Amino acid sequence: MTRTGRRGEGVGVSHAESGKVVASQDHRPDDPSRPVTISYIARSAGVSVPTVSKVINGRSGVSADTRARVEALISRYGYRRSSPATRSNMMELVFDELQHMWGIEIIRGVERVAREQRVGVVLTEFGPERSAIHYWIDDTLARRPDCVITVAQLTDEQRDQLRARGIPFVVLDPTSELPDDVPFVGATNWAGGRSATRHLIRLGHRRIAVIAGPEHVLCSRARLDGHRAAMDAAGLTVDPGLVSNAPLTTEAGHEAALALLSREPRPTAVVAGNDLQAVGVYRGARDLGLRIPSDLSVVGFDDLPIAALIDPPLTTVRQPIVEMAVAATELALALGRGERTTQVGMELATTLTVRGSTAPPGGR
> Can you list the domains of the chain with their CATH numbers?
1-86 (1.10.260.40), 90-187+322-348 (3.40.50.2300), 189-320+351-363 (3.40.50.2300)
Q: Give the DSSP H/E element, type plus range, for residue 134.
A: helix 133-143
Q: What is the pLDDT of residue 159?
A: 87
Let me know if 223 is exposed, middle or buried by CB neighbors in 10 A (0-12, 13-18, 19+).
buried
275-287 vs 250-260: helix axis angle to the nearest 10? 50
Per-residue confidence (pLDDT) for residue 65, from 0 to 100: 86
Which among 31, 30, 76, 69 has a CA at the least distance from the CA of 52? 69
Measured from the Cβ of residue 349, the count of other Cβ atoms closer than 10 Å reads 12
In the prediction, which pLDDT does 310 show? 95
Please give the C-alpha separations between residue 69 and each of 36, 39, 54, 81, in angstroms, as whole numbers.
16, 15, 13, 19
The answer to whether the bond into 312 is cis (omega within 30° of 0) is yes
Is 316 in contact with 302 (CB distance < 8 Å)? yes
Q: Which residues contact 253 (CB under 8 A, 6 or more apart)?
A: 211, 246, 272, 273, 276, 277, 278, 279, 280, 281, 283, 284
Q: From first to last of the 364 residues of the chain, give the pLDDT tens digit.
A: 333 333 233 222 222 233 333 333 334 445 555 556 667 777 888 887 677 767 776 666 788 888 888 888 877 776 544 444 456 789 999 988 776 788 889 999 999 999 998 999 999 887 655 554 556 778 888 888 999 999 978 888 888 888 888 899 999 998 888 888 899 999 999 999 999 999 999 999 999 999 998 988 899 999 999 999 999 999 999 999 999 999 999 999 999 999 999 999 999 999 999 999 999 999 999 999 999 999 999 999 999 999 999 999 999 999 999 999 999 999 999 988 888 777 788 999 999 999 999 999 975 4
pLDDT in the model for residue 235 = 97
- pLDDT for 31 equals 54
pTM: 0.72
Which pLDDT score is estimated for 364?
A: 45
For 298-318, how does the pLDDT look when each residue is reduced to its tens digit (9 = 90+)? 999 999 999 999 999 999 999
- Rounded to the nearest 10 degrees, what angle do helices 156-164 and 133-143 cross at? 10
243: region left, alpha or beta (phi > 0 left; psi from -120 to 50 alpha): beta
pLDDT at residue 11, as a whole number: 26
pLDDT value, residue 155: 82
- The DSSP line for 248-277 is SSHHHHHHHHHHHTTSSSPPSEEEESSHHH
**CA-to-CA distance for 137 and 165, rounded, in angstroms?**
11
Say if strands 351-353 and 315-318 run parallel, antiparallel, or are unpaired. Answer: antiparallel
CA pair distance 225, 194, nearest whole angstrom: 8
Q: Give the pLDDT confidence score for residue 78 in this predicted structure.
A: 61
The DSSP code sequence of 50-95 is HHHHHHHTT-SS--HHHHHHHHHHHHHH---B-SPPPP-SEEEEEE
- 266 CB contacts (<8 Å, ≥6 apart)? 207
- pLDDT, position 1: 33
Residue 133's Cα: distance from chain center in Å? Answer: 14
Query: What are the pLDDT digits (tens) for 185-226?
Result: 999 999 999 999 999 999 999 999 999 989 888 999 999 999
* CA distance linking residue 362 with residue 294, whole number of Å: 6
**49-56 and 38-45 helices, crossing angle to 10°:** 110
